Chains A and B, each alone.
Chain A
Amino acid sequence: METTVVGSYPRVSDAPDGQRLRRAVARWERRELSDEDLRKVEVDVMQEVVREQASLGVDIVSDGQVTRYDPISHFAGKLEGFEIGGLLRYFDTNTYYRQPRAKGKVRWTNPITVDDWTTASAATVAPVKAVLIGPYTLAAMSANGASNDLLWDLAGAVGNEVSALAHSGVPRIQIDEPALVRAKALPREFDEMVDTVLEGRRRAQATLFTYFGGVGHLLEDLLALPFDFLGLDLVQGASTIEALRRADVTKPMILGLIDARNTKMEDPKEVAKRALALRDRVPLDRSYLSPSNGLEFLPRAKAREKLKVLVYAAKIVREVGE
Chain B
Amino acid sequence: MTKGLLTTTVGSFAKPEYLQRARNRHASGKVSAAELDRLTLQATKEVIAVQEQLGLDVLVHGEMERGDMVAYFAEHMPGMQTGELVRSYGNRYYHKPIIGGELQWDVPITVATWKYAQSLTKKPVKGMLTGPYTMVEWSFDEHYGSRRDAVLGMAKVLHKEAQALAKAGAKVIQVDEPAIHTRPEEDFDLAVKAMEVVVKGVDAEFHTHICYGDIPRIYPGMLRLPVKQIHLAFKNTNFELLRLFEKVPFDRSKELGLGVIDVHNHNVEAVKEVRDGIRKALKYVPPDRLWIEPDCGLKTRTPEEVRAKLGVMVSARDEVRGAVRA
Q: How far is the CB of B175 from chain A (nearest CB, A)?
A: 19
CB neighbours of A92 from chain B (8 A): 182-183
Contacts of A262 in B (CB 8 A): 140-142
B-contact 0/1 string along A261-300, CB 8 Å cutoff: 0111000000000000000000000000000000011111
B87 and A13 within 8 A (CB): no
A interface footprint on B118-162 (CB within 8 Å = 1, 0 otherwise): 000000000000000000011011100000000000000000000
Q: Point out the residue from A13, A87, A94, A300 that lies within 8 Å of B138, measured CB to CB.
A: A94
Interface residues of A in 44-76 (CB under 8 A from B): 69-70
CA distance A98 to B87 in the complex (A): 14
For chain B, the count of residues having a C-beta within 8 Å of the partner chain is: 24
Asked whether A25 lies within 8 Å of B91 as measured between CB atoms, the reply is yes
Interface residue from B140, B182, B212 paired with A87 (Cβ < 8 Å): B212
Given contacts A89-B213, A296-B86, A302-B84, contact A26 B91 (CB under 8 A): yes
In the complex, the answer to whether B142 meets A22 with C-beta atoms within 8 Å is no
Q: Please measure, in the bound complex, the distance between the C-alpha atom of A298 and the C-alpha atom of B86, giving whole angstroms.
A: 6
**Inter-chain contacts of A22 with B (CB < 8 A):** 91, 93
Q: Is A301 an interface residue (CB 8 A)?
A: yes
Of all chain B residues, the one with the shortest Cβ separation from A86 is B236
Instruction: Return the chain B residue nearest A296 by Cβ.
Output: B87
- Inter-chain contacts of A90 with B (CB < 8 A): 89
- Tell whether, in the assembled complex, residue B88 and residue A301 are in contact, meaning their CB atoms are under 8 Å apart: no
Q: Is A10 an interface residue (CB 8 A)?
A: yes
Is residue A189 contacting chain B, with contact meaning CB distance below 8 A?
Answer: no
**How extensive is the interface on chain A, given as a class?**
20 to 34
Separation of A168 and B150 alpha carbons in the complex (Å) = 49
**Contact count A vs B, C-beta below 8 Å:** 68
Does any Cβ of A come within 8 Å of B207's Cβ? no
Shortest Cβ gap from A310 to chain B (Å): 18
CB B126 to nearest CB in A, in angstroms, measures 25
Return chain A residues, CB-CB under 8 Å to B137. 94
Given contacts A89-B182, A89-B213, A300-B84, contact A264 B142 (CB under 8 A): yes
A14 within 8 A of B: yes
Give the complex CA separation of A26 and B90 in angstroms. Answer: 10
A89-B213, A92-B183 in contact; A11/B142 too (CB < 8 A)? no
Known: A263-B98, A263-B142. A12 touches B89 (CB 8 A): no
Taking each of B88, B90, B182, which has the highest tally of chain A beta carbons within 10 Å of its own beta carbon? B90
CA distance A29 to B90 in the complex (A): 11
Q: CB distance B140 to A264 under 8 Å?
A: yes
A190 is an interface residue with CB less than 8 A from chain B: no
Q: Name which residue of chain A comes closest to B140, CB basis.
A: A263
User: A279 to nearest B CB, angstroms?
Assistant: 27
Q: Which residues of B contact A13 (CB under 8 A)?
A: 84-85
Within B93-118, the residues touching A (CB, 8 Å) are 93, 96, 98
Known: A70-B90, A263-B83, A300-B85. 11 other contacts (CB 8 A): A11-B87, A26-B91, A70-B89, A87-B89, A94-B179, A96-B89, A262-B140, A264-B141, A298-B86, A299-B83, A299-B84
